[in-house]
């Protein structure tokens, strides 16, 4: 489990990934101050209603076409579909009226929305909402890949690689720090690949 690059031939996904498990599975997280810790604890008792109807600031919509088999998980119509159990979990995710809301677990800040509609034996996502301020024109679909990762890894509990930003070189230490800061204990594998964009 030493941090290392795994080439595509030896990767379960068929493309290169960086193994972050040595950090993701052993590092612990703590609050930077008492206010953050208190906010985190207070949000643990939420049924998700604090996220219903919330949007990121300066929201823009990206059209996509992503599907997930219903066999992965039968989701409720409303409520929390992933709730952080410790500060090592970085996200809270709620579902209401076919809209998924993704928020940072320590602050409750809403970062993404997407629609999620069941069609026969699939869940279909056709739009992702993100703050325009977060979009880098040189890597427009980065946040699409983040949402895809969050759905697979957090909502459907599937081991899946998270995307790395393409906006600059990252050392291995940078990758490990980015991975844990963004995804905590579920950031097991990272990748620079932008697979599937031909269908966006």
pLDDT, position 29: 73
pLDDT one-digit tens code per residue, 52-95: 999 999 999 999 999 999 999 999 999 999 999 999 999 999 99
> What's the pLDDT score for residue 84?
95
Q: Which pLDDT does position 200 carry in this prediction? A: 41
pLDDT at 198: 44
Mean pLDDT of the residues in the chain: 93
Q: What is the pLDDT of residue 35?
A: 83
* Contacts of residue 169, Cβ cutoff 8 Å, sequence gap at least 6: none
Handedness of CA 85, 91, 95, 96 (dihedral sign): positive
pLDDT of 196 reads 67
pLDDT digits (tens, 9 = 90+) for 22-34: 999 998 776 667 8
All residue ranges of the chain with pLDDT < 70 are: 30-32, 196-200
- The residues, ordered by sequence, that sit 6+ positions from 1 with a Cβ below 8 Å of its Cβ are 19, 21, 22, 25
């Amino acid at each position: 489990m030493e941090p290392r690059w795994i080439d595509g031939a030896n990767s379960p996904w068929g493309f290169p990934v960086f193994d972050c498990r040595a950090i993701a599975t052993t590092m612990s997280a703590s609050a930077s101050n008492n206010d953050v810790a208190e906010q985190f604890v207070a949000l643990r008792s939420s049924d998700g209603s604090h996220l219903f109807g919330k949007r990121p600031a300066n929201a823009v919509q990206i059209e996509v076409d992503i599907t997930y088999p219903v066999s992965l998980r039968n989701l409720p119509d409303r409520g929390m579909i992933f709730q952080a159990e410790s500060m090592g979990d970085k996200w809270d995710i709620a579902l209401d009226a076919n809209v998924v809301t993704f928020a940072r677990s320590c602050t409750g800040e809403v970062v993404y929305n997407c629609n999620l509609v069941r069609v026969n034996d699939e869940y279909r996502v056709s739009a992702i909402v993100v703050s325009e301020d977060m979009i880098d024109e040189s890597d427009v679909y980065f946040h699409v890949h983040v949402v895809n990762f969050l759905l697979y890894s957090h909502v459907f509990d599937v081991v899946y690689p998270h995307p790395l930003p393409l906006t600059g070189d990252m050392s291995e230490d940078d990758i490990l720090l980015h991975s844990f800061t963004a995804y905590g204990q579920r950031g097991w594998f990272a990748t620079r690949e932008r697979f599937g964009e031909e269908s966006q």
